[in-house]
Structure 1
């Protein structure tokens, strides 16, 4: 029996050391397996249990929840007897609201609707003695759900057409309460505000788009607005959508407006912008100038090419009409003309005058010169009769003149009567073969050659057959001086 007990004890002594050495070997081999792994090292089960057993436990509600009950107690104490319907300092002194504004995005500016879009973060600060508290917290930050439990200034934007408050993912508004009763209220909103644009100098115009705000119900005796040293943050790095405009600065004014309900303090910010000239120049000024100069090509086309000159003139006039209509397409219906309208109108006048120049030339040369319409007298007997009028006729009609009918080969290709009108026997003046008014007789010559006539001496006359030559100089020079005067006036105003 004793032998059996000894054998059992010997077997247990052999088995137990082998089991205890197994985990010890694994613990020695474990570091080599996790040397190259970044992260927390796995722990043994006994070590885990030991750490959990030896971990101290917090007792009591204040130790488990930290300072949360203290903050809750403070909020409850200051809001228990708080009436959010009454402003702070009512009946004693006006509430001073300090305003601070941050511009996130400015634009676009709608010329047709005369409005602009602005995305701002609007901050208002005031003191409310009812919200003072004692404690270790310097301030409380509350989300938008708590706004309805506090008094908030009823600020509204006077020139806004549409206002959108951002609510994704939560309402973008915040309230911060300091221990001395200072309250900061911040909200983000997008406003479509009206902007009265004065387009008289368009497209060299500059504008000041206002953003005006005031209290809706509290007059100046109860609420006063002031700037925080005019602190205005402008984030120009954001994607501003001004497109045709450049931002030039911001100004502000403070004024008092009298209404039937009282005198209200109004704060106004002016965002100054100036128009970029490049887009308008390539869309309107360049096509108008090129079309005007293109209409002058007709002065170098022969006057007998009526279809070519007429089609060119009509096309230029219609093109200027289209440009004038296109420039007003996305434009407010103002009752005055702008600088661009005036320029296009002058270009239209130049194109129309180029077309009328050919009409006048054609009318004078082909309708007032009747002898050119009759067949040429080439028979020698008829030529002799024409050169030798009867004496009786000469004595009976002292005003008659002699005209030699000949071919027009010497007139350098110019059409018209082949002989110049001669001075009549009476000192009254020439008798135009086609008939003409008095000023035409004095100052206009409608024949190819106007030489040797007494009526031309000492007078300024216009040679109709050289009207194209005059136009080649007069039109470009006049248009050049008009451009110089136009740009000097527009750029210096």
Structure 2
């Protein structure tokens, strides 16, 4: 009984082996028959449009691809790396080996060394490329019974991507993958995208890029004309948006802080020279170093980028704060030596100023045509003896013009030295104008100063020290200008339009 069971098992194994060898032999025979003496892989197969005599038209090649990864987007060399599974499908009637319903297999798979005709496709913007061979060549050639051929290969390429960096780092780049035939014109090969899902993306590819985000993937045609003919071409358009968060944390916020730190010098005493100089120079050098690090990652383009405008503005504000300290030091020293010179040379008040000396609510006395009689006016006026002494000394060298502005209508000005009016008016204002500056060029300025807002500002800045006044103005002026610059900058560069691909 056991012997009978053993013989039956051996018979089943033998039949299975014979049947398997018969199938393998059948596939081998079909391939040998197809690629035998009558087939020449160097000749293009005829088209499928039987209405065209001869070659029956161009070979229609249907293309689709699976993008596996996008990496190494290089702004300096303007290129990027992509890994994809590239598929082509066409019909070669010479390789048809069966009919519907027969016992032939649905398709055959060719191995390495078995050559058939394939389109000479190439990527027009490719710089470097290679096929993957680990651990076997990642190539698939499948022949269907009706003569349809599927060619699939895994490729890694470095493609050129011309970039427009005017809005960097808020830019959106358009990178292309162009596919065309190298030798066959459109009368021999016609490329078409697959109707359903011509370009597939690996799951998670949109957010897997380190510095970019894949916004969209579109397909288009790019048929090109050259001196050798017109070639069919397919184009894949990748829209890549740069991730702004990195630059916000690494550039914009630190540079803004540096600008604000440079304004601290406005609150320091002007006598603290080492502190103010150190603060200004340190922030300036830090901003310059940061700008050099950013520009090292960019190509030396001839146009101005958004990041150049920002860095230039920050450097200008920091440098302006340093110059403001130099100006404060200058006018402080100038005022000191000027006061010292006035005390030593006993120059008059009228010789040291270009503006009018206005003495309100004075009692104007009668005086003669001689300029020396003006002294009696001051003796009868309600002001300090020290002011009278200074004006009296000024009258000995170059007598001024004396005017009275009456308060009756607020506009009438009567000349006193010219004997136009000699009446006393207790409500008048006495105006003494230097003879060298007796034009009316300051009238518009006096009217401007009477505006309520201007009067409030002047009251806040009403300090005797010009250097201190410069610091007070800078505390308001610099932040205001920086806020205005930010408003204009972000409105302009946040509205970016993607340039059309050519």
TM-score (ref. length: structure 2) = 0.72
Given that 1:158 and 1:212 are in contact with CA atoms closer than 8 Å, whether structure 2 keeps it comes out as yes
User: Is 2:95 the counterpart of 1:141?
Assistant: no
Q: 1:193 aligns with which of 145, 159, 165?
A: 159
**Using a 3 Å threshold, how does the CA distance of structure 1 residues 170 and 64 change in structure 2: closer, same or farther?**
closer
List runs of 5+ in structure 2 lacking aligned partners. Answer: 48-54, 345-384, 401-430, 450-457, 497-502
How far does the alpha carbon of each residue in 1:419-474 deviate from its partner, in whole angstroms, 9 at most, with x for none?
A: xxxx97733349xxxxxxx9xxx99xxxxxxxxxx998456699834111111111
Shift of 1:385: 12
Per-residue Cα deviation, 1:106-159 (whole angstroms, up to 9, x for no partner): 12311121111111111110000100113521110223332xx20011000110
Does the CA contact (< 8 Å) of 2:206 and 2:214 recur in 1?
no
Q: Distance in 2 between matches of 1:56 and 1:121?
A: 46
Partner residue in 2 for 1:403? none
Query: 2: distance between equivalents of 1:428 and 1:458?
Result: 22
Report the equivalent of 1:85.
42
Alpha-carbon RMSD across the aligned residues, in angstroms, is 3.3
CA distance change for structure 1 residues 392 and 315 in 2, over 3 Å: closer, same or farther? closer
Counterpart residue number, 1:74:
30
* Equivalent position of 1:119 in the other structure: 83
Q: Which runs of 5+ in 1 are unaligned?
A: 1-45, 378-383, 400-422, 431-437, 444-453
Contact 1:107-1:240 within 8 A present in 2 as well: no
After superposition, give the CA deviation of every residue in 1:229-260 in whole Å (9 maximum; x if it has no partner): 15221103369752011111101111221111
SS at match of 1:492: coil
2:272 is the counterpart of 1:305: yes
Query: Equivalents in 2 of 1:467, 1:102: separation in Å?
Result: 66
Note the C-alpha offset of 1:342.
0.3
Conserved in 2, the CA contact under 8 Å of 1:429 and 1:455?
no
Matches of 2:307 and 2:216, distance apart in 1 = 26
Tell me how far 1:374 sits from its aligned partner: 6.0
Alpha carbons of 1:370 and 1:187: their partners in 2 closer, same or farther (altered >3 Å)?
A: same
Instruction: Say whether 1:482 aligns with 2:485.
Output: yes
User: Is the 1:133–1:180 contact (alpha carbons within 8 Å) kept by the matching residues of 2?
Assistant: yes
Work out the number of aligned pairs and report it.
Answer: 398
Alpha-carbon contact 2:399-2:435 (below 8 Å) kept: no
Q: Is the 8 A contact 2:398 2:435 kept in 1?
A: no
| 1:372-411 equivalence runs, <5 A | 372-373=339-340, 395-396=396-397, 398=399
What is residue 434 of structure 2 aligned with on the other side?
A: 426
Q: d(CA) in 2 for partners of 1:118 and 1:62?
A: 47
Match of 2:125 in 1: 159
Distance 1:398 1:141, change over 3 A: same
Cα distance in structure 2, aligned partners of 1:72 and 1:94: 31
Which residue in 2 is equivalent to 1:36?
A: none
Q: Deviations over 1:83-120 (max 9, x none)?
A: 00001017332111000111111123111211111111
Which of 296, 299, 308 matches 1:332?
299
Kept after mapping to 1: 8 A contact 2:178/2:222: no
Q: TM-score, normalised by structure 1?
A: 0.73
